[in-house]
Structure 1
Amino acid sequence: MTKTDSPTSSAKAELARLVAPVAGRLRLAGLLAAVSELLWAAQAALVALAVGGLLEAPVLLPIWEASAGFLALMALRTGLDAAAQGLASRAATRLVATERQALLRAAARLDARASGLTPAELAALAGEKLALLGPFAARYSPAMMRSRIVPLALIAITLPFSWIAVLIFLIALPLIPIFMALIGIAAQEASERQMVQIGSLNGALVDRIAAVTDLRLIGAETRAGAELANVFERLRARTMKVLAVAFLSSTVLELFSALGVALVAIYVGFNLLGEIPWGSWGGPLSPEAGIFLLMIAPTVFQPMRDLSAAWHDRASALAVATELSAAKETLAREGTLLGYGTPATPPAPAVLSWQGLSLRPAPSAAAIRFAEGQIAPGEAVALSGPSGAGKTTLLAALAGLIRPDAGVIRWGETALDDESADALRAAMGWLPQAPQFIAAPLAEAITLGRDGDLAAALKAAQAEDVIAALPEGLATPLGDIGGGVSGGEARRLMLARAHHARASLILADEPTADLDAETAQAVIAGLMALRAKGAALLIASHDPTVIAACDRVITLEPGGHP
C-alpha cells in the first residue's frame, strides 16, 4: 500500500472533503484570530515603552497614553476574537448539520432490503460521532491557521532586536509539530477504537431494550445487565486511552514551549545585567526591548499550545471521517428506493399490474421471477404461498421500495419509476407486518399533517377504544414502533391512518399474524371497510379467514411462480 492509499491519507482526504463547504469561513475565523493575537505585539510595545521610560530617562511614552492605547487595542482584540469564535462556531454547526442531514437522507432512501448498516450503528454515527466534527472545525482549524501565521510574524518582529532570541524560537518551535505528529498516530488509532466501541455499545443497548420482555420472562436480566456493563467498561477504557493521549500531546507541547520561553527570559535577563552582551544588534538590549521580548515570547508559542490542545479533536475527526466514508460506501452499495421523496399529488384510481418481474429478497439472494398479475380498483386480492415464496418482496416492489432487477410495474398506463414513484406511493396505503409510526403525538402519527375526518377514520378502523385507553388519548406519543399498545391495536391504528389518507390501494403484509381471533376479525373488518370505500386490497397472508374474505387469490410457489 502506497502512502497515498493508506487509511490515514484516505481519512485526511475525506475530512478535507467534509470541511470544504465551510473552509472559507474557517480560514476567515483563523485569520481574524491571528490578527487579534498579533495585536498583542502592539500592546506589548506600549507597555515596554511606558515601563522602560520609568526605568531610565527620557520618558518615551506617558503612562496615560500607553494605558489608553492598550485599552483600545484590548477592545479591538475582544471584537476580533468574538467575530472569529462566532464564525468558527457557526461553520462547525453547519458542517455537522449538513453531514447529519445527508446521512439521514441517504438512510431514509435506502432500498427496503438494505442490511449493511444497523439502526444502532446509524444512530451512533449520526448522533454522537458526527458531533465530534464540530470541535475539529471550531477549534483545530482556526488554531492551525494561527500557528502558520503568528509565530513567523512574531519571529520577524523579534529579529531587529535579537538574533539569539530568534534562534531560540527556531530551535524550539519545530520540535513541537514533530512530536505532535508522532503522538497523532497513536491518537488516531485510539480514537478509531473508541468509535468502534461506541457503535458496539449502541448496538448492545438497542438489542437489550428490544428483548427486555423476553429477558424478564426467562429470568436473564442479571446476565444481560452484566454483559452490558462489560461493554460500558470497554468503552470507558477506550475513552480513557484517548484522554491519555490527548494529555500526553499537551504535556509535550507545554514542555517545549516552557523551555523556549525560559531560555528567552534567561537571555534577556543576563543581557540586561551585562553578563551576555552579545546576541543583539549594535550593543546590549535596552530595557524597552527586553520587556518587549519577554512579553511576546509566550505569544510565539501560544498558537502551537492551542493547536496541541485541539490535537485530539483532529484525531477524533479523522476517525469519524473514516467511519463516515465507509458508511456512505455501504449505503451506496445497498441501493435506493424509487422516487425522490418529494410531496406529490396521487393519481386517480387505476389498475395496478406487473409483468416480467425479477426480484431479489436480499442483495446476495437468488432472484425470484414472478408471473404477470394485476389488481383492479375496489378489488380484494389475497397473496398466498409458503414462507420464502416472495410475498413481502413483491409487496415492497409494488410500493416502489425495491428496484426490480427486471420487469415493469404499471399504474394504469404509467410505469413505476423514479419520476412517478412519489405520486404513485401517495395513492397507496402500506401496512407492514411490523407496525411503524412517526415519533409524534398519535393524532399526527395517524394524519401525517393531512386534512380529513380523524374521528371517522378511527371509527372505520374500530380503533376508538384504543384511543380511549391511552393516558393522553390522541396526544399520546407512541414512538416509531407503537410502544404502549398491543400488536393488534397498533394494526388498527395503521388501518385508521389508511382510512384517513383515503388511499386507492392498500398493500398489507400479514395483517392478522400473531393476533387472537377477535382482534384479527376487527382488523379484517377494517380492511373490508376500506374496500367498501373503493380502495383495492392486496393482502399477503397465510390466514384462511383473510383469504376467504378476498375476491380471489394469487398463489406463489417457491421461486415466485404462481
Structure 2
Amino acid sequence: MPVADAASEKLKLLLAPVRKRLKLSGYLTTVASLLWIGQAALVAMLVASLLQPELHDLSVWAAALGFLALGACRIALDTSAGRISFNAADDVISKVRAEVAQQEALRSPQCAGNENSAALASLLAEKLDSLRVYITRYQPAQVRVGIVPLVILGFALWHSWVVALILFIAGPLIPVFMILVGMAARSASEKQMQEIGSLNALLMEHLSAAVDIRALGAVERSEDAFKGAADTLRQQTMKVLGIAFLSSTVLELFAALGVAMVAVFVGFTLLGEITFGSYATQLTVYEGVFLLLLAPDYFQPLRDLAAAWHDKASAVAVAGELAEREKQELKPILGRGGAVEMPRAPAPVAWSGLHFSYGSEEPMRYQEAKVPAGTSLAIVGASGSGKSTLLALIAGLIPPSGGTLRIGEFEMTAETADQLRSNMDWVAQTPHFLAETVRRNLSLARGHIPADEIDEALQSAQANGVVERLPDGLFTRLGETGAGVSGGEARRLLLARAMLSDAGIILADEPTADLDGDTARQITESLLALKDKGATLIVATHDKALADKMDQQLVLEAQNA
C-alpha cells in the first residue's frame, strides 16, 4: 500500500470510534450556519420595509428580536458542537497516546532498534496535538461544505438563475485549486514533522553528551550542527506557511470575485440596467439584499475548509508516522507489563538449551548452567559473546528463541514473567533515575521506608558519603541520568536501592566498567554485601577481580556472538 494511502487509512481508523460524534458535531454546526438564511431574510425584509413600506411591513423591533433569537440559537449550536468535537479529539489523542506509551513500555530494551526517546517524546507531546486541530476544525467544516453551499444555491436559484449560475461557477473552482495546493501541503507537512523529530533527537543527544563535547573541545562544531538543523526546520516551516498562505489567497480571490459579480448583477438590476436573470418580475429590494447577504456565506464553508486544509495535511503526516511505527517489528518483553506482587526471597536460576537470535544473525547459544539460591555467578567472556543478552533473558526482557529458563519452581514464560521479575532488581551499567529526590529513587520498590533502613543500606553500599556531600542530602533531586553524582556514585546508589528492594535475585551488568580501581573495589564489596544478605547474584563482567570473588563463573565463547 502506498505511504499516502496507508496514512489516510490509519487516520480513518483513528477516527472510527468517534465518527458518530463528529458527524453530530458537523450537523450541529451546519444547522447553525443555515440559520443565517433566516437572519439574512429578516435583515433584507427590514431594509425593504424602510425603502418600500408599501410592499413590506416589518417593524425594527420585530426584526431585531427575530435576528437576536436566531443568533442565540446559532451560538448555542456552535457551543454544543465545539464541546462534542473537543471531547472526541481528547478521546482520540488520549487513546493513541496510551497505546503508543504502552507499546514502548513493553518494548525490549535489548531490541529497541534505532528508536530515539526524543523523537518519541516529540510524537507524544507535540505531534499528536495536530489531530486535535484536524478533528475540531476540518471534520465539521467537511460536513458543512457538503450541505450549506447547496442549500444557499437552492435559495439563490429560487430568486435568480443568474446569481445561482455565478455561485455555481465560482464555487467548484475553489476545491479544485485546494486539491492542487493540498498535494504540496501534505508533502511539506510530512517533511516538517520529520524535521521536528530530528531536531528534538539531536538536542537530546547533545544534552546527554554535553560533558564529552566540552571535554573534546567540540562545542563550536556542536553548535554549528544544531544551528544547521534548526535552520532546516525553519525553512521547512516557512515552506508550509507559504503553501497555507497560497491556498488562502486562491480561496479569497475566487470568493471575492463571486461576491463582487453577485453585487454587480444585483446593483444593476435594481437600477434597471439589467432586465434579465430573474423569473416573472425583476428583483425586488428584498430579493436583492437577501441574495447579497447570502453570497458571502455560500463561500464561508469553503473558506473554513481551506483554512483547515493544512490541519488535515499535518494530521495525515502524523497518522503516517503512526502507521510506520506499526510496521516496525516489536519484540516485547515477556509478560503483560504489570507488576504482580510475590514474596521476595532468594531463588535458584537454571537454564538449558537456551539460545537467542537478533533477526537473521547466528543465534547465541548458552551452555547449561544452574545458580543455587543465595549464591553468585559471574558471566565472563569477550565483547559480543552475549553476556548482557543472557542477563536480559534471565530478566525476561527478551523472549528466548528456544530452550528453557527456570526461576525457582517456575519456567520463565509470558504468563509467569511479571511475577518472577517482581522478585528481581537490575543494576545497570548506565544508571537511570527518576527526576525525583534521592530518597524517592531509593524507595521505588517498597514505597515508604524508615530512615534507619535507608541509612543501613547506604552504608552497606558505601554510598552514605555520596548522600552526605549532596546539597540537600536525601532530598536532593537527581536528574534522569544521575545529574549531580558521578558514574561510580550513581551505581552505588543503585546498589543501595537494590538492598532496600529486598529482591531475591540481583542482576548486574558490567557494574565496575569504566571505574577507577578504588571505586571498582567499593562496588565489588557492595555487591558481595548483597549476596551476604541472601540474594542470588548474577553479574556480567569483564572485571577479573570481580569475577574471582563470585562462587562460580560461566565463560561464554566468542563464537556464540
How far off its partner does 1:118 sit?
Answer: 2.3
In structure 2, the CA distance between the partners of 1:77 and 1:472, relative to structure 1 (3 Å rule), is farther
Which segment drifts farther, 72-81 or 344-353? 344-353
Is the Cα contact below 8 Å between 1:432 and 1:509 reproduced in 2?
A: yes
In structure 2, the CA distance between the partners of 1:390 and 1:165, relative to structure 1 (3 Å rule), is same
Is the Cα contact below 8 Å between 2:356 and 2:402 reproduced in 1?
A: yes
Is the Cα contact below 8 Å between 2:346 and 2:374 reproduced in 1?
A: no
Report the counterpart of residue 418 of structure 2 in structure 1.
422
Report the counterpart of residue 131 of structure 1 in structure 2.
129
Is the Cα contact below 8 Å between 2:6 and 2:323 reproduced in 1?
A: no
Question: 5+ unaligned residues in a row in structure 2: which ranges?
Answer: none
How far off its partner does 1:266 sit?
Answer: 1.3
How far off its partner does 1:522 sit?
Answer: 2.4
Structure 2 residue 48 is the aligned partner of structure 1 residue 52: yes
Structure 2 residue 361 is the aligned partner of structure 1 residue 385: no
Counterpart of 1:445, as a letter, is N
How far off its partner does 1:199 sit?
Answer: 2.6
Counterpart of 1:68, as a letter, is L
How far off its partner does 1:221 sit?
Answer: 0.9
Report the counterpart of residue 164 of structure 1 in structure 2.
162
Choose which of 211, 219, 226 in structure 2 pairs with 1:228: 226
Structure 2 residue 519 is the aligned partner of structure 1 residue 519: yes
Tell me, in whole angstroms, the C-alpha distance in 2 between the residues paired with 1:7 and 1:392: 37
Counterpart of 1:381, as a letter, is L
Choose which of 19, 33, 36 in structure 1 pairs with 2:15: 19
SS at match of 2:426: strand
Tell me, in whole angstroms, the C-alpha distance in 2 between the residues paired with 1:10 and 1:437: 38
Tell me, in whole angstroms, the C-alpha distance in 2 between the residues paired with 1:286 and 1:458: 93
Tell me, in whole angstroms, the C-alpha distance in 2 between the residues paired with 1:226 and 1:234: 12
Tell me, in whole angstroms, the C-alpha distance in 1 between the residues paired with 2:406 and 2:380: 22
Q: In the TM superposition, what whole-angstrom CA distance separates every residue of 1:442-464 from its partner, at most 9, and x where no partner exists?
A: 32222226243434433332222
Q: In the TM superposition, what whole-angstrom CA distance separates every residue of 1:18-44 from its partner, at most 9, and x where no partner exists?
A: 222222222222211111111111111
Tell me, in whole angstroms, the C-alpha distance in 2 between the residues paired with 1:85 and 1:317: 19
How far off its partner does 1:560 sit?
Answer: 4.2
Report the counterpart of residue 559 of structure 1 in structure 2.
559
Counterpart of 2:524, as a letter, is I
Q: In the TM superposition, what whole-angstrom CA distance separates every residue of 1:120-143 from its partner, at most 9, and x where no partner exists?
A: 332232232222222111211111
SS at match of 2:147: helix
Question: 5+ unaligned residues in a row in structure 1: which ranges?
Answer: none
Report the counterpart of residue 269 of structure 1 in structure 2.
267
After superposition, residues 292-441 of structure 1 pair within 5 angstroms as 292-330=290-328, 333-347=329-343, 349-360=346-357, 362-441=358-437
Tell me, in whole angstroms, the C-alpha distance in 2 between the residues paired with 1:437 and 1:173: 59
Tell me, in whole angstroms, the C-alpha distance in 2 between the residues paired with 1:369 and 1:452: 41
Report the counterpart of residue 7 of structure 1 in structure 2.
3
Report the counterpart of residue 97 of structure 1 in structure 2.
94
How far off its partner does 1:334 sit?
Answer: 3.3
Structure 2 residue 83 is the aligned partner of structure 1 residue 86: yes
How far off its partner does 1:549 sit?
Answer: 2.2
Report the counterpart of residue 529 of structure 1 in structure 2.
529
Q: In the TM superposition, what whole-angstrom CA distance separates every residue of 1:193-221 from its partner, at most 9, and x where no partner exists?
A: 21222232223222222222222122221
SS at match of 2:111: coil
Tell me, in whole angstroms, the C-alpha distance in 2 between the residues paired with 1:208 and 1:398: 33
Q: In the TM superposition, what whole-angstrom CA distance separates every residue of 1:204-256 from its partner, at most 9, and x where no partner exists?
A: 22222222222212222112211211111111111100110011111111111
Is the Cα contact below 8 Å between 1:391 and 1:540 reproduced in 2?
A: yes
After superposition, residues 442-453 of structure 1 pair within 5 angstroms as 442-448=438-444, 450-453=447-450
Counterpart of 2:514, as a letter, is D
Question: What is the TM-score with the length of structure 1 in the denominator?
Answer: 0.95
In structure 2, the CA distance between the partners of 1:66 and 1:472, relative to structure 1 (3 Å rule), is farther
Tell me, in whole angstroms, the C-alpha distance in 2 between the residues paired with 1:106 and 1:138: 27
Q: In the TM superposition, what whole-angstrom CA distance separates every residue of 1:82-109 from its partner, at most 9, and x where no partner exists?
A: 2222222222233223222211221121
Aligned-residue identity in percent: 46
Which segment drifts farther, 552-561 or 283-292? 552-561
Counterpart of 2:50, as a letter, is L
After superposition, residues 139-150 of structure 1 pair within 5 angstroms as 139-150=137-148
Is the Cα contact below 8 Å between 1:346 and 1:425 reproduced in 2?
A: no
How far off its partner does 1:426 sit?
Answer: 0.4
Report the counterpart of residue 201 of structure 1 in structure 2.
199
Report the counterpart of residue 73 of structure 1 in structure 2.
70
Is the Cα contact below 8 Å between 1:442 and 1:475 reproduced in 2?
A: yes
Is the Cα contact below 8 Å between 1:369 and 1:559 reproduced in 2?
A: no
Counterpart of 1:74, as a letter, is G
How far off its partner does 1:364 sit?
Answer: 4.3
Report the counterpart of residue 279 of structure 1 in structure 2.
277
Report the counterpart of residue 176 of structure 2 in structure 1.
178
Report the counterpart of residue 252 of structure 1 in structure 2.
250
In structure 2, the CA distance between the partners of 1:518 and 1:171, relative to structure 1 (3 Å rule), is same
Report the counterpart of residue 498 of structure 1 in structure 2.
498
Which segment drifts farther, 169-178 or 548-557? 548-557
Is the Cα contact below 8 Å between 2:105 and 2:337 reproduced in 1?
A: no
In structure 2, the CA distance between the partners of 1:66 and 1:513, relative to structure 1 (3 Å rule), is same
